[in-house]
Structure 1
Amino acid sequence: MGIVQRQGIRNTLISYVGLAIGFANTILIMPRLLSPAQIGLTGAVLVPLATIAAQVSSFGLASTGMRYFPFFRNQGRNHAGFFPLLLGPPVVGFLLVALLLWAGKPLVLQWYAKGDDAALLSSHYLVAIGLAGCILMGSLQDAYLRSLFHTSFSSFSQEILLRLMLVGAAVAYSQHYLSFHGFVLAYAGAYAVVALLLAGYLAAIGELHLRPTRASLRIKPLGEMLGFGAFMLLSNISGTILLNIDTMLVGTKLSLAAAGIYLIATNISTALVLPFRALYKTAFSLIAEYWKEGDMAKMADFYRRSTRINTLLGCYLALGIGLNLDFIYGLIHRPEYAVGTTAVLLLLAGRLVDGITGVNGIIVATSPRFRFDLIFNISLAAAVVGLNWVLIPRLQLAGAALAYCIALVSINAVRTWFVWRNYGLQPFDGSIARILAVAAVAGTLAWLMPTLSNAWLTLLLRGGVLTLVYGAGVLLTRTAPELMPIIAGIRARIAKK
């Protein structure tokens, strides 16, 4: 896989260090230092609201940049003024969106009218506007770095440094160095630091080209790029709705406290998707290159390999998390959060299917038929809103998770069929069935292990059985050919000794 393997390995290592920090932040720090309502405010209202605002402001140009950058690459030392072209329209868009957010404050507060929720949100509402600007600049620069195949520093900044700063803000609040409002400002400020660091990194590698040029308008017609951006905007917004509407609707239909509990459940399940995200950081630009070159053989090979790798990692992680939820929630020492156990299992199921189906969404989004991805996403986003609207009042947190699970399974089923029907590409072979069979056996044996008096011993017992059986099964069924050269090398070294 070449560059994808090198960057993917680095990004995976960074992601797992970030996972450890995020786990400590999510399980050991935030729930102990903040009330569920305060967690709901920051993570389930301010961040989703700012993320949606950033998406609208960007006008889809982050995805547009990755789609069209191959045509600008090496066109002069500044890539024909590509970076200023990428930044210009979103900056104007942000000014308009910020004005709309400011004017729409009374309407947003009406959604959170239960108890003290509206008052808590009102006193921190304007932070969402600044946070949206920071997320916007970070996402645009991250897209540019992905196009340049410089993903490691961006991953480090977002997966590790950002989380460390959030941990530091929470500790400072707990030690009374910051008021809660100061903590919220520091929370947003961490995103601003990441955006500034990415700009500094671009300058350090000689790619911070801010002077606009007319040449940028001659490489590809601006109307074509903006048209693609408009479609990607709607697609991205629908994707953002899929990621955030459940937490937001839990907050509006139940309470900010319930949203905080649900957010913790979401964060626990997030461990599953980190290796997928590490791969996708490079996959988008690489698949765009394959489309440009018309190399369907390489794309088919990448599709199969990425699906197999995601299935291997995803099954192991999903089982590891699901089998040890009692241990994970026990670390929080606050029983009210354990209400989210069922939600975690449903979220894991949906995210596992999302990973197993591979990079179908990226293939559709970068293909000549990218408009169909918009149709899929908008239809699905509308269905998710409807499902949440119906299921949350009836099933509470589990209803939100079930709606999310149905959404991911549905969109991936449709996208996988679409890619196979139109391009003859499908990522499944016998290795996927063998991995699932091994996972079923390993998970069942680990689940049958008794619960010991000590939670740590139970964790070690179940985790050990899962790892041993799963690892042995993968090797015996030869479902991970990438590992065979490594194993052969280890055997050769042992034989020499």
Structure 2
Amino acid sequence: MGIVIKQSIKNTIITFIGFAIGAINILYMYPVFLGKEYLGLTNYVLSAANILYPIMSFGIQNTLIKFFNENNKTEEELSSYFSYMLLLPLLIIIPFFALFYLFYENIALYESSKNTIVYDFVWEIPIIALFIGYFEIFYAWLRAHMKSVFGSFVKEVFVRILVTISLFAVYFKFITLPQFVHSLVLVYGISLLVIIYYANKVKRIQLNKKFPKNTKSIFVFTILILFSASVANMLLDIDKYMINQFLKIENIAFYSMAVYLAMVISVPQRAMHQITYPITAKLISENKWQELNELYKKSSVTLQVIGGLIYIGILVNINQVYKILPDEGYDQGLFVVFTIGLSKYFDVILGNNNAIIFNSKYYKTVLLLGVLLVFVIVGLNLIFIPKYGINGAALATLIAIGMYSLAKLLFVVFKMKLFPFTKNTIISFVITLILFFAFYFWEFPFHPIINIVLKSLLISVVYLALHFYFKVSSDINFVIRNLLGKFFKVKS
């Protein structure tokens, strides 16, 4: 677990820094510099691109890690393998862009039928998706070599810094609001070039005309995992995409703001996933089921502790957060924060569940469940969004993600005889629930920002102290002991 703890901590710190920059952007600069209409447009473009990018990458980022250990015996095998990984997406990219060009007018008219402002920006969606897709492929190359930290920095911090620069360019009137949305193409293009440069620095990329020996099995897995990756992204972003079809575009701004706050819960999971995914793949390929079960339990309870702290931290401060935002209707997202937050909390306590499934022989069955759930979430959104607005979109997402997460959990438990939960799972849940009710219904009589800081510090100390006392997570206790040891050593 040493490499998991070390790189996960670094990735978590980097991801939190990225989210902090993103929080400044989305909680202040976006609503003040862009306004709710262009904020909604920006989120629509990025959500549509996120739905599309697994198709552009052909799901290769997951395939690359799964088969990496089987194809790195010699330099020639490794070069032919990675060359194949880079070429496969072209099977979709070339015909897709040909069709997109031919039918662009019809596509743009359909996407802008409810909000005409969308029309001039539809062309950006597949280009940004293409850049994100190949970024994920090179990022997977780094993760396969156990070098995930720099990729996390580029993905979580560097991209947001570039966006911040563009926002300041809007503020100082160097660029217009439409040009800001266009600049997103440049932002993701630059991030792709940076990750390619670093990936080549870690391990020189040598292209090879030969295909790897297990080409057929790689291709079959890739086709199936493509659907799985698409399902996961659709569950995250289909709601924002569909809001554009029924409501005014500023509703995407209100909804996206709330979702962003709730998504902070998944930061530790995203950080840990970068390193647990290749380790999980390796353990499964070597049939080390006992070690895998231990990793499963540790990742579950560790993520539950960290995710639970973030969740109640968001909930007990949410009313103060909305007092900071411009009075333009953003507080309509209060129910969304609670609902999406709950779905993410349930998801994070499953630990490395996704990595286990995607690297097992059962991924085909779970994939089918995911495809079915896409129809479920689309159907629920068609019913709930016209009736309940953005709250309906949140409710649909909660039901769909909850069903999907439960299905994956039961599959791993019954088919693979792995179980993530222990008595510490219950202890952590009880602590989280008690502290939520203890802190939610009172506020300090100060400025909202001061209230948020004071309340966050207080609840963090109490929450972590209780988890440390009850020894809920050995990894968390290990980190706390090290920090306390260094602190008191310095003090003495």
**TM-score tier after normalising by the smaller chain length:** over 0.9
Change (3 A) 1:315 1:492: closer
Q: Structure 2: 5+ residue runs without aligned partners?
A: none
Instruction: Please tell me whether residue 342 in structure 1 is matched to residue 335 in structure 2.
Output: yes
Q: Deviations over 1:274-316 (max 9, x none)?
A: 1110011112211111111010011101100000111000111
Cα distance in 2, alignment partners of residues 465 and 447 from structure 1: 13
Instruction: Please tell me whether residue 175 in structure 1 is matched to residue 168 in structure 2.
Output: no
C-alpha contact (below 8 Å) 1:8/1:279 kept by paired residues: yes
Instruction: Please tell me whether residue 82 in structure 1 is matched to residue 81 in structure 2.
Output: yes
Cα distance in 1, alignment partners of residues 132 and 479 from structure 2: 40
Shift of 1:380: 1.0
Instruction: Please tell me whether residue 17 in structure 1 is matched to residue 12 in structure 2.
Output: no
Query: Equivalences for 1:153-168 in 2 at 5 Å?
Result: 153-168=150-165
Match of 1:146 in 2: 143
Match of 1:396 in 2: 389
Instruction: Please tell me whether residue 385 in structure 1 is matched to residue 381 in structure 2.
Output: no
Match of 1:477 in 2: 470
Instruction: Please tell me whether residue 356 in structure 1 is matched to residue 353 in structure 2.
Output: no
Change (3 A) 1:457 1:204: closer
Moved more, 351-360 or 75-84: 75-84
Cα distance in 2, alignment partners of residues 142 and 181 from structure 1: 30
Change (3 A) 1:107 1:368: same
Instruction: Please tell me whether residue 297 in structure 1 is matched to residue 294 in structure 2.
Output: no
C-alpha contact (below 8 Å) 1:261/1:340 kept by paired residues: yes
Moved more, 159-168 or 254-263: 254-263
Q: 1:324 aligns to what SS in structure 2?
A: helix
Cα distance in 2, alignment partners of residues 138 and 315 from structure 1: 31
RMSD: 2.0
Query: Equivalences for 1:316-465 in 2 at 5 Å?
Result: 316-465=309-458
Cα distance in 1, alignment partners of residues 390 and 61 from structure 2: 33
Moved more, 468-477 or 319-328: 468-477
Match of 1:205 in 2: 202
Match of 2:32 in 1: 32
- What is the count of residue pairs matched by the alignment? 489
Moved more, 251-260 or 417-426: 251-260
Q: 1:479 aligns to what SS in structure 2?
A: coil
Cα distance in 2, alignment partners of residues 198 and 461 from structure 1: 39
Q: Deviations over 1:354-388 (max 9, x none)?
A: 00122222211110111012112101111111111
C-alpha contact (below 8 Å) 1:162/1:194 kept by paired residues: yes
Q: Give identity over the alignment, percent.
A: 21
2:192 is aligned, of 176, 192, 195, to 195
Cα distance in 1, alignment partners of residues 487 and 97 from structure 2: 61
Q: TM-score scaled by structure 2? A: 0.95
Amino acid paired to 1:418: F
Cα distance in 1, alignment partners of residues 160 and 268 from structure 2: 17
Instruction: Please tell me whether residue 217 in structure 1 is matched to residue 212 in structure 2.
Output: yes
Amino acid paired to 1:127: E
Match of 2:59 in 1: 60
C-alpha contact (below 8 Å) 2:243/2:390 kept by paired residues: yes
Q: Deviations over 1:50-73 (max 9, x none)?
A: 233332232222211111111112
Cα distance in 2, alignment partners of residues 268 and 485 from structure 1: 28
Q: Structure 1: 5+ residue runs without aligned partners?
A: none
Q: 2:351 aligns to what SS in structure 1?
A: coil
Match of 2:299 in 1: 306
Change (3 A) 1:491 1:73: same
Shift of 1:486: 5.3
Change (3 A) 1:302 1:36: same
Amino acid paired to 1:107: I
Shift of 1:171: 1.3
C-alpha contact (below 8 Å) 2:311/2:345 kept by paired residues: yes
Cα distance in 2, alignment partners of residues 465 and 443 from structure 1: 12
Shift of 1:257: 1.4
Change (3 A) 1:185 1:436: same
